[in-house]
Amino acid sequence: MKLFEPCKIGNLTLKNRIVLAPMGTTTDQSFAFNQKDVDYYEERAKGGTGLVLTGAVVCSEEFEPAPCQLLNSIKHAYWLHEIAEHVHIHGAKFGIQLSPGIGRMNWIDPFTPPYSASPCPNYYNPELICRELPTEGVKRLVKAMGYSAKLAKDAGVDIIEVHAYGGYLIDQFTSAKWNHRSDEYGGSFENRQRFLFEIIDEIRKTCGKDYPIAVKMTLDSVDDEERPIEEGLAIAKRLAEIPVDLIHFGRGAYSCRWRMVSSVYQPPGFDLEAAKIIREVTGNVPIMAHGKLNHVPTAKQAIEEGIVDFIAIGHGMIADPHWANKVRKGMEEEIIPCIGCGGCHANSMKGWARPCAVNPTSMHEKEYVLTPMKENKKVLVIGGGPGGLKAAASAAQRGMDVTLWEKNAYLGGALAAAGQMRFKKDVKSQLEYLIRQVNKYNVKVELNKEANLEMVKSFNPDFVVVASGANPIRIPIPGHDQDHVYTAVPALMNQDVVGENVVIIGGGEVGCEMGCEFAAQGKKVTIVEIGKDILMAPSFVANKQNIRYIVDHSNVDVHVATSTKEIGKDYVIIEKDSIQQTIKADTVIFSTGFRANHDLYLQILEEGYDVVQIGDNVKPGKVLDAIHQGYHFVRVYE
């Protein structure tokens, strides 16, 4: 398999073409790597990855506070060397992504404008105009990049990837939109690239001409004017002429973050379409792409057909650090699928560790392991949604005798409904994985079995996990109880009942997704949202931008700041600004949230059983909450 053939980046030989993509990292208060980083990166190397790359590491704090790990002193080399040693033990190579800063993307405080290539609006507060980096300061950053690269090389780092991507500082210098300098670092195309190419030259000087250098660059910003594709191709051509040893390209900008950071809605390998374009100007210089390449057929095809030379997997390898080994051994059904929720990225942006919705051990590789039970325990899991399935499989892995009751004729709960939508195939894959795990560990599953207290007492378990989810909310609008009125989960699970004229009450994430799904089937769909806009609930920015894009480019009719007054047999009456309108409707679907019911949990607790509740049964939340709670309550149970 070509994916696993040895290959080279410059004079660096890798055992395969699989790379852990660089992703934003979280630091401790010293802005250094730590033991959790050692464990995290080692696990991906142990999992068979050919090259392990860190997220951005900055070379200086002269012009901005470090937003991530800092490497400007010998004292920072200790943990970097530890990571390199632990990665190398498993036959992988280790690289860091090195950056001079993030410029206009920085947030210091509401009063302090960051530095950038030229005066321009701060991303987070456009009224705050960035300061222009002084010429001598640019030159000092070039020197700082060379010094940091030498520190990294001496610590055992095998390759440097220069971070010239994503609208950050180098990208601001190379961009005609942001760079309006009048000195040697601005004006012409060549001058705008000078900062980047002086950095590459400086790394060559400090690390040697044969030391491998990759560059991550923005090809174009797609739905934004920040980077025209002509400018991106010209930069790629110039990089190939130097040459650098690897060009890692990506697309997008913060205004369309879903092209920078993969969302649940995108297809596998969504950036591969641009590879042929960039190949035309880069010649024989190896290129690497990212973007949901954890989908095995897509990854294999990309390499077999020579579309790219290397594949970078980010979120997919947070979800499953052993992706490479499982593919190599033909164990693809054992791969933990990433669901594209963006929890890892969103929480990292908050300064937290990178919790993964579907892998509770990510960033806690040595802390959160399952250990065998000292004595056999009889466990009852009530509810077969993602939390219940994770709890059941984890308990069985520990050697417990596990039974799962599910009130429906199918497993998965709301996750099963979400997986019915064509752009949420990753969610469906995760559910299928969880069901396979339950079967693998011989959990006894009983469907069409809705639990009550007497049934629990008769079963007499040692430990009970209540994972029975939450109940959908129906607003008591006149006509809400008619036969053609549904809530989201039944409508998605039984789509034959959905007619041709659909009104969805509620414009949150689920309502918008459902509306786009039914519109794609050719149905006439109207979303009615009482709030001032759709998608108002907090959500990962890339997913929110992407679903809004899908709504805007669908045929869904959206009414905001609008109330629903009446549901008739074949119509719905809505009202905005005291003006009523009648909409044709043969199907009405409430997508107005859920409400947890704690009654069964409290009854079991009052009977004296060892019982916990998880997921939506605690309060309606995210898949991350359900899976983590299911795993951890079982993990710590004795």
Enumerate the active-site residues: 168
CB 480 within 8 A of CB 564: no
Kindly state the DSSP code that residue 568 receives in the 8-state scheme: -
What residues contact residue 483 under an 8 Å CB cut-off, 6+ apart? none
Using N-to-C axis directions, what is the helix angle for 77-88 and 135-154, rounded to 10°? Answer: 50
Q: What CA–CA distance (Å, rounded) separates 279 from 307?
A: 9
What residues contact residue 158 under an 8 Å CB cut-off, 6+ apart? 12, 51, 84, 93, 94, 95, 212
Q: What CA–CA distance (Å, rounded) separates 577 from 335?
A: 52
CB 509 within 8 A of CB 547: yes
Q: What CA–CA distance (Å, rounded) separates 303 from 294?
A: 13
Residue count (the chain): 638
Q: Which of 429, 437, 426 is nearest to 404 (CA)?
A: 437
The tokens of 433 are what? 């994985």
Which residue is associated with the tokens 């080279």? 8
Angle in degrees, CA 448, 390, 489, rounded to 5: 50
3-state secondary structure (DSSP) of residue 487: strand
Strands (E), 28-121: 51-58, 69-70, 93-99, 115-116
Determine how β-strand 401-405 pairs with β-strand 444-446.
parallel
The tokens of 340 are what? 């594209």
Q: What CA–CA distance (Å, rounded) separates 19 from 39?
A: 17
Q: Which of 270, 196, 268, 262 is nearest to 231 (CA)?
A: 196
Under the phi-then-psi rule, with left for phi > 0, alpha for psi from -120 to 50, and beta for the rest, what region is 395? Answer: alpha
Residue type, 296: V
Residue 214 host element (H or E)? strand 213-220
